[in-house]
Amino acid sequence: MDYGNIVKLEFDKGDGTMIFPTSDITKKFSLNDFKEQTTSLGSIPTTFDAATCKCDNFVMEAHYNVFFKETYDTLAQKSSNSQADAAVDAGRLANQFLIDKVTVDLVYGSIDGCKPHTFSLKTSLNFY
């Protein structure tokens, strides 16, 4: 199954704006010889050839990476006075973050032969 048909995710950045994951690292492995193959970046459609039982470009792993950026909500504007700036820093509301971007690292597979196989999709969600 290709990535676009596995899961449809969108994230609220925290300010009401919706964003979608973008492909970051894409790798592909042959399960016939367990070697990495070259592949183009991004989402690749899955193909199946019934005559040879070759299944190509199926997703084996999807690892989501959520990147945050800190935001500051100050009660006053900074000035050239360091004591006043310290007061402004103290007035910041701590631990305010917005989602900056979401990426997905994909691992695709390819296998030949008509012998049945069972694979479990491996996923992870990482926060940065």
Strand-pair partners of 30:
110
Per-residue pLDDT reduced to its tens digit, 38-61: 666 556 778 888 888 888 888 888
- Given a cut of 70, whether residue 108 has pLDDT beyond it is yes
Residue 95 backbone class (left: φ over 0; alpha: ψ -120 to 50; beta: rest) = left
Give the whole-angstrom CA distance, residue 124 versus residue 48.
27
State the pLDDT at residue 87.
Answer: 54
Sequence ranges of the domains in the chain:
3-127
CA atoms within 13 A on the CB side of 14: 14
Q: Which two tokens stand for residue 44?
A: 């690749």
Per-residue pLDDT, averaged over 93-102, amounts to 78
Q: Which two tokens stand for residue 96?
A: 């305010």
Q: What predicted TM-score, i.e. pTM, was given to this entire model?
A: 0.65
